[in-house]
Structure 1
Amino acid sequence: MADFDRDEIDAFIDAWIDANIAAEKVQDWTPLADFYADDAHYGWNYGTKDDFMAVGKDEIRELALGQEMKGLEGWKYPYISRVIDTRTGDVICLWRQIAEGTEDPRTGKPYEVYGLGGSWFRYAGNRKWAWQRDFFDFGNVVDLFMRMYEADALSEGMRERFASAGEKLPGWYRIHEGPKSIWPVDIGD
């Protein structure tokens, strides 16, 4: 594996964050797919039973950035920190999850997922991600959405998602059954 130029990766991450901010403003994250290599994969674990995985730029656009962001219009994901390994191209970015335009009666501020959220990326070169894995505190996500549900603070799109809970959507797999491992690197199993 070749070393990567730190300035190149930093500039790419800056462009990525700017594109994320633009996507939040128009409430459409699908243009972010242009930041992925054609054969990239993007996934996350969601609790004790399910993983999500999109394979290829088209699935990332349609499923991860389209289907999975429905109901999260108005949410902001400000990036707080980044860690870059120029030897491998690994990038860790930490971000928050904030429901702008809502108010949590416990804090008087917008509802926000408590706990750390982040993404682990592998830089492919040529201003593209090879893969991405998101991580977040599942228990706090569930708690927040239940509190928002009980307070009637969910968006219409999220209420629709709650109503269809139990439907198997494209990209969702039982743990260990997805087309790519949640661990995108060899862990010596």
Structure 2
Amino acid sequence: MAPFDRAELDEMVQRWVDENKRCEALGDWKPLAEMYTEDATYGWNYGPKDDFMAVGRDEIRDLALGQEMDGLEGWEYPYQQFVIDDRSGDVIGFWKQVSERTRDDGTHYQVTGIGGSWFRYGGNFQWSWQRDFFDFGNVSSLFLEMITNNAMSDGMNARIQRATSGRLPGWYPVGKAPVSLW
């Protein structure tokens, strides 16, 4: 018998997907923080120089789901597929990153390549750990295209301004975060 109940993991994934959709519609991802344990960690790498890490539910709410998602209102992250390991409690979800903004030809601005999240289940319908992965080159290319085409929302422009004004809370030089990506 596996250490994690498969039906419970399946229900966790469905709860996660449902809450993501709700938060996307609100344009506010902070309510997702309740789906993490109090001591959970959430991080990602952003290219050759920077890592992001939020430690604890409050930082996840304020930094990962607040500061880092601020300006991404109107973006959706539809999950395409999940891989669930009931032996380890690991779940990998593959998602797209799609803007509500469209090009002249009517297609949505969308990050190409694969994006995803690697979760570890902590019980009680909460994640204890999350690491995101995405193609930094494709993200950079899309944002440059959107800037060039004047397709950035005011929120996205403000987000870029914040990010280029100095190191924000939660951002660390590669390998210097308080918790390892691994």
Q: Normalising by structure 1, report the TM-score.
A: 0.93
**In the alignment, which residue of structure 2 is the partner of 1:187?**
none
Q: How many residues align?
A: 180
Secondary structure of the residue aligned to 2:118 is: strand
Amino acid at match of 1:29: W
Partner of 2:26: 26
2 CA distance for matches of 1:89 and 1:162? 35
Q: Which runs of 4+ in 1 moved over 6 A?
A: none
Aligned to 2:151: 153
Partners of 1:51 and 1:64 lie apart in 2 by 12
Q: Distance in 1 between matches of 2:153 and 2:108?
A: 13
Match of residue 81 from structure 1: 81
For 2:151, the aligned partner's letter is: A
The structure 2 residue matched to 1:141, chosen from 139, 142, 154, is 139
1:32-58 alpha-carbon deviations (Å, 9 max, x no partner): 000000000000000000000000000
Secondary structure in 2 matching 1:98: strand
Q: Does 1:66 align with 2:66?
A: yes
**Identity fraction in percent:** 57
One-letter amino acid of the structure 1 residue matched with residue 94 of structure 2: L
Q: CA deviation at 1:142?
A: 0.2
1:128 aligned partner: 126
- Cα distance in 2, alignment partners of residues 92 and 166 from structure 1: 33
| Aligned mate of 1:119, from 111, 117, 120 | 117
1:84-136 CA-to-partner distances (Å, cap 9, x unmatched) read: 11000000000000001x1134x631100000000000001111101000000
SS at match of 1:15: helix
Q: Secondary structure at the match of 1:116?
A: strand
1:119 is matched by which residue type in structure 2?
Answer: S
1:162 aligns with 2:160: yes
In structure 2, how many angstroms separate the alpha carbons of the residues matched to 1:162 and 1:27?
18
RMSD of aligned residue pairs (Cα, Å):
1.0
